[in-house]
Structure 1
């Protein structure tokens, strides 16, 4: 009998074990749900990390676009501060961002700031978006992506477009102007100029248009 008692399974401990397992498992699932959108972009071949724009950078962007109107797009819009600031200056502004948490926060912030009717935020990979409708473009990029982005924007943007690059300039385009200094510098590019730059290796017809 003593042997049977010692080897009899302890059924009282099972519910506690299941509860602990459930709590740990639930915590891991919740942690993954919160962190996955932030980690996933870092696993891509070209990473566009979220680094908030400084107040000076936002001011420099708006200064570079001071005489401009119409629609504006922020590529990799982060927490939406460029889009919201542009909307307050009269633009109809859109942001494209891969991180859904930042997009949801941006929408809330735009509503709180009273410009939700002039802004839109989209969860999307920038390489899958066409920017043909935007004459004003802002990009906070990284060096690894800028050359490829040059080609994409040159193909898609209207001839009246202006592109403002922050933190890193485009590798081959020549800016028509720079605003600010240090990490807050922004480079302003004109579509007609960078299209002609790209057309140096294009057809004779394309090259002749740049000479007009």
Structure 2
């Protein structure tokens, strides 16, 4: 378009192109400068943000690692403490088991030792007679023997002694018949049992029991004597009774008779046989023998 045809105030194309070229150039340069600045600022911000973000990430990672390490350390500490506590519990259990076993061992030892002591204390009085020169074992009297003894003491009264009374059967039976009965026994267990039995049957006032050796007791005060002897002791006991008993005494022997005396009465059969000896007979025999000896050997 020609410039002459344009209204006033408008520029022609050539004028615009000529006049606008520097403008567009300046605009492009300006845009380029602004773009470089923005890019630089953006890059700067990006670098700044990247550095901050990296720093933050590293900080977070370090913090997380620190927390992990702390947690691991705490966990390991707890694990170690748990293991230590478990070991302490195991040691305590082992100590308790050992203590329990030791206590059981002591208890069993005490029970066994106490049982042996009791057995020894109980058995010794029953076994020691076998070690003596004259053995007088404990053999309980049968019911038939007790009846035969009481039959031989019928119509008699006064005091009675049982030599080697054992469990006290003869003494208690005689006390029930009205005798003032006494029993001598070397075994303390049998004496204590006899006393208890007499008390239980209400005969403790008329039935007495003593722990003593028959060879150390004088029988001169008794008018009735009962003895369950053995052959080895009968000769010595025969001599002792001859010296100590009065002329109105009676001796009842069970199981074995006296070797030199002649019995006045006999009753029973087999092991239940009893022999009754009146002191008048064996005292008279002793006097007769003495007179015969004096006549044969005058002074």
* TM-score class, shorter: 0.7 to 0.9
The corresponding residue for 1:182 is: 270
The corresponding residue for 1:170 is: 258
Query: Displacement of 1:206 after TM fit?
Result: 10
Evaluate the alpha carbon distance shift between residue 205 and residue 47 of structure 1 in structure 2; reply closer, same or farther with a 3 A threshold. same
Where does structure 1 lack aligned partners over 5 or more consecutive residues? 1-10
Which fold has the larger relative contact order, with Cα–Cα distance below 8 Å and residues 6 or more apart in sequence?
A: 1
| Residues 1:140 and 2:224 aligned together | no
The corresponding residue for 1:15 is: 102
| Residues 1:158 and 2:229 aligned together | no
Query: Displacement of 1:173 after TM fit?
Result: 0.4
| Residues 1:114 and 2:202 aligned together | yes
d(CA) in 2 for partners of 1:90 and 1:22?
48
The corresponding residue for 1:58 is: 146
Tell me the C-alpha RMSD between the 2 structures. Answer: 2.3
More helix by share: 2
d(CA) in 2 for partners of 1:158 and 1:132?
7
> Which of the two has higher C-alpha Rg?
2
Evaluate the alpha carbon distance shift between residue 98 and residue 207 of structure 1 in structure 2; reply closer, same or farther with a 3 A threshold. farther
Query: Displacement of 1:111 after TM fit?
Result: 1.0
Where does structure 2 lack aligned partners over 5 or more consecutive residues? 1-94
3-state secondary structure, aligned to 1:163: strand
Evaluate the alpha carbon distance shift between residue 207 and residue 160 of structure 1 in structure 2; reply closer, same or farther with a 3 A threshold. farther
- The count of aligned residue pairs is 198
More strand by share: 1
TM-score, normalising length from structure 2? 0.62
Q: 1:127 aligns with which of 209, 215, 229?
A: 215
TM-score, normalising length from structure 1? 0.85
d(CA) in 2 for partners of 1:112 and 1:20?
36
Cα deviation 1:39-91 (Å, max 9, x = unaligned):
11221111111111111111111111101100000001111111011011110
Q: 1:95 aligns with which of 177, 183, 188?
A: 183
Evaluate the alpha carbon distance shift between residue 160 and residue 39 of structure 1 in structure 2; reply closer, same or farther with a 3 A threshold. same
3-state secondary structure, aligned to 2:113: helix
d(CA) in 1 for partners of 2:207 and 2:130?
27
| Residues 1:105 and 2:218 aligned together | no
Query: Displacement of 1:30 after TM fit?
Result: 1.7
The corresponding residue for 2:130 is: 42
